[in-house]
Chains A and B, each alone.
Chain A
Amino acid sequence: MAHSLMQRVGGKDQVIAGLMLSPTVLAAIFFIYAFILWTVWLSLTRSTILPSNHFIGLANYHDLFGSSRWWRSLSNLGIFGGLYVAISMAIGLLLAILLDQRIRGERLFQVVFLYPMAISAVVTGVAWRWLLDPNFGVQAIVRSLGFTHFQFAWIDDPNFAIYTVVIAAVWQTSGFMMAIFLAGLRGISPDIVKAARIDGAGTLRIYRRVILPNLAPTFFVAFILSAGLAIKAFGLIIALTGGGPGYSTNVPTIFMYVFSFERGEMGVGAASALIMLAIMMVVVVPFVILDARRKV
C-alpha cells in the first residue's frame, strides 16, 4: 500500500510533504470549520455560562432579533461600516493620486500616512478618546480660538458617538487604503498613459477615462479589505467608547463578546457570531464571484 502510494504520487519526498502539511490541514479543519459547526450547534442549544446540549431550536435567534441592543448593533455596523468604507477608500484614493504626481518626499509622506496601521486599535482608541474629549480635545481647541459656542461633543452623545468611531477608524486605515491604491496605480502600464496623452487627453481626463477604469480590481480589493476591517472592528470601539454611552456604539463584535463572556448567554452569543459570519459572507462573496466572472 505504502509502496503503491509512493509510486502514484512520485516518491518518498512526496509522502513527507503530505505528512508535513497535514497538521495544518487538520488544524484548519478542526479549529476553523469544525468550530464553525460547533458554534452553529451552540446557537441552537440552551447554553448559558456553560455549554449545554439541550436543543432549543431557533429560540436564541428569536431572542437575538427580539433584542433592541442587537438591532442597535446591526444599525451601528451599517452606519459605521458604510461611512468608514466609503471615506477611507476616498481618502486613500485621493492620497494615492496625489502621491503619484512625482512628489518630492513621497517616502516620508507614505511613512506618515501608514504608521497608524502599525499601531494597535486599542492605542488608537485611547488617543482619539483623549482628542475627542469635549473638555480638552477638539471642542476645547476650537473654543480657545474664540469660537466659544462651538459644539463638538459627539463622543458623549448617544446619537453621534458612532461617528467618532468612524473618525478614528478612518484615521487608522486610510493610509492602508492609500498603499493599496498606490500599488494599483503603479501597476498600470505607463505606456497606456503615454498613449492617452498622445491621443490628446488631459490629466483629469486620463484619470477618469483611462486610469480609474483600470483600477477596478484595486477598488474591489480595497472594498473587501475595508469591509472586513469594519465587520471585525472591536478593540478600537472598546477603547474609544466602550460601546457606549449606554450601548449606543455597540456593534455585533461587542454584542457577541458581552453576551458570550460577560452576561453568560452563550447561546445568544453564538447566534450573533453566526449572523456576523453571514454578514461577512453576504458582503464578501458576491464580490468574489463578480471578480471571478470578470476574469473568465
Chain B
Amino acid sequence: MGKLILQDIHKSYGKDEVLHGINIETGENQFLVLIGPSGCGKTTLLNIIAGLEQESGGDILLNDRRLNGLSPKDRDIAMVFQSYALYPSMTVRNNILFALENRKVPKAEREQILMDVARMLQIEHLLDRRPRQLSGGQQQRVAIGRAIARRPTLFLFDEPLSNLDAKLRVEMRSEIKRLHQQLQTSMVYVTHDQIEAMTMGDLIAVMNEGIIQQLGSPESIYNDPANRFVAGFMGSPSMNFLPVVPREETSGLCLRVAGAEGDGNLLPIPPKMQGALRSQLGRRITLGIRPEQITDPGSAREGEALHSIELDVELLEPTGPDTLVFTRLDGHSLVARVHPSTYLQIGSRCTLSFHMERAVFFDPENGSRLA
C-alpha cells in the first residue's frame, strides 16, 4: 500500500532554482524511476522526499499523509544509498537492527525481522561481519536488507547499483525488481542508467534542468517521447536526428534531407502524420528515428510500408545480438541496426529500410514534439 504525490515541488539554493515545480502522482505500489543527466535535480528531489533536504515550495503526500516538515524518521521511509552508507563500526546484524532499535521495536520481533530479511537476501552467513569485510555486492545486499527490515511505506533508492560491476548490476537489477513484486511497496529509484529505468520502472520521470520532461510508462517514454531531450536521452545508441524539410510531391507529403545536394533522397511521410506536418511545409524540422527502425529490408510487419534506400557502409559494430551500421544519408551520419546475419562490408553499399511509421518529429528550435 502506498501512493506518492508530489505537487509543484520547488527547490532553490539562494537565488539558484534547481527544481522548477515538479508534479508526480504514482499509482498504488508503483515503481517510480527518476532519471536524467547529472545535475538534473533527481537526487535533490529524492532527498526532498526523504526529508533530508527542505523543499522551497510544494507538497509531498504519501498515502494522503502530508510529509512536509516531518523529519526523515517520521516519514515511514527507508533509503538505499549509492555508497551503501553501511555503518562501518557495526556488524551487518547491527546495521540492520539499528533502525529497529531506534524505533523501539521489541527485541523478539527485531530478531524475527532480522532473520526474515537475512533469509530473503541470503546474507545469513554475513551477519557477524563488518562492512569492510564484505564485497561490493554483499554490501549492496546488506544495504537493501537494512531498508527492508524497516517495512516502510516507501523505499527510496539513490543510484544504488552504480558502484557495482556490470554483471552484478544486472543481477541486482532483477533482484530489486523481484523484491518490489514480493513486498508490494512503493519505490522511488534514482538512476542515470536508462536500461535500469526501462527494465525496472512502472513509471518513469525523465528530468532535465529541474523540470520533468516526460512522465510515463517505459513504453511511452521510449516510443512516444514528448520532446527531443527525452528522445535523445533514452535509448542506446541514441536516436538519429536529421534535419529535414517537408515538401509536397506528387506522391504526397515527403521529406527531403536539409542541405542535400542535387535531388537527394526523399522519405515518405506516413499518412497519419501528414496532417500534423502539413503546417511545416518548407520549414526545416528535425526527424528522429531510432537505429532499430533503420534495418534490414523484409523486417516489415504486416501492413507496414517500408522505404528502402541504398547507402554506404562506413563502419560496423557487431554487438552480438545485432550489428550497428554507421552510414550517411545526404551527408548526415546515421546509425542503423541490422540482424547479425546480414552480410555487410565496410566500404560497400547496403540497402536499409526506414520504418517511417515509428519516426518522430521535433521543432528544431525548442525541441518540442511536432508529430
Contact = CB atoms under 8 A, between A and B. Distances in A.
A–B direct touch in complex (beta carbons closer than 8 A): yes
Interface of A: 3, 6-13
The dominant DSSP class at the A interface is helix
B71 A8 contact: no
Contacts of B138: none
A98 to B, nearest CB: 37
A9 B51 CA distance: 11
A282 B320 CA distance: 70
17 contacts: A3-B69, A6-B69, A7-B54, A7-B68, A7-B69, A8-B54, A9-B54, A10-B51, A10-B52, A10-B53, A10-B54, A10-B71, A11-B51, A11-B71, A11-B72, A12-B71, A13-B71
Contacts of B51: 10-11
Contacts of A8: 54
A15 to B, nearest CB: 11
Nearest to A12: B71
Contacts of A9: 54
Contacts of B69: 3, 6-7
B198 to A, nearest CB: 34
Contacts of A12: 71
A249 B54 CA distance: 61
A9 B54 CA distance: 7
A13 B51 CA distance: 12
Interface string B26-57: 00000000000000000000000001111000
A8 B72 CA distance: 15
A6 B54 CA distance: 10
Interface in B178-195: none
Contacts of B72: 11
Nearest to B72: A11
Which 7 A-B residue pairs are closest in the complex by CB-CB distance?
Answer: A11-B71, A10-B54, A7-B69, A12-B71, A7-B54, A8-B54, A13-B71
A8 B69 CA distance: 9
Given A9-B54, A10-B52, 12 more contacts: A6-B69, A7-B54, A7-B68, A8-B54, A10-B53, A10-B54, A10-B71, A11-B51, A11-B71, A11-B72, A12-B71, A13-B71
Nearest to A3: B69
Contacts of A13: 71
Contacts, number: 17
B70 to A, nearest CB: 8
B66 to A, nearest CB: 13
Contacts of B71: 10-13
A6 B52 CA distance: 13
B14 to A, nearest CB: 13
A8 B57 CA distance: 11
B320 to A, nearest CB: 38
B257 to A, nearest CB: 48
Nearest to A9: B54
Q: Identify which of A3, A8, A11, A13 gathers the most chain B CB atoms within 10 Å of its CB.
A: A11
A284 to B, nearest CB: 32
Interface in B74-96: none
Contacts of B52: 10
Nearest to B70: A11
A178 to B, nearest CB: 33
A3 B70 CA distance: 11
Contacts of B54: 7-10
A90 B68 CA distance: 61
A43 B72 CA distance: 54
B228 to A, nearest CB: 37
A7 B58 CA distance: 13
A11 B68 CA distance: 11
A98 B19 CA distance: 57
A6 B68 CA distance: 11
Contacts of B68: 7
Contacts of A6: 69
Contacts of A10: 51-54, 71
A18 to B, nearest CB: 15
A40 to B, nearest CB: 35
Contacts of B53: 10
Most chain-A Cβ atoms within 10 A of its Cβ — which of B51, B52, B54, B72?
Answer: B54
A227 B206 CA distance: 57
Interface string B234-262: 00000000000000000000000000000
Nearest to B54: A10
Nearest to A13: B71
A13 B53 CA distance: 13
Nearest to A11: B71
A13 B54 CA distance: 13
Interface in B261-288: none
A12 B52 CA distance: 12
A12 B51 CA distance: 12
B55 to A, nearest CB: 10
B37 to A, nearest CB: 27
A13 B52 CA distance: 11
Interface in B322-359: none
A12 to B, nearest CB: 6
A7 B68 CA distance: 8
B256 to A, nearest CB: 53
A11 B54 CA distance: 9
Nearest to B53: A10
B30 to A, nearest CB: 27
Contacts of A3: 69
Interface string B105-116: 000000000000
A11 to B, nearest CB: 4
B57 to A, nearest CB: 11
A253 B71 CA distance: 52
A3 B68 CA distance: 12
A81 B52 CA distance: 51
A1 to B, nearest CB: 14
A7 B67 CA distance: 12
B203 to A, nearest CB: 28
A12 B70 CA distance: 9
A224 B37 CA distance: 44
Nearest to B74: A11
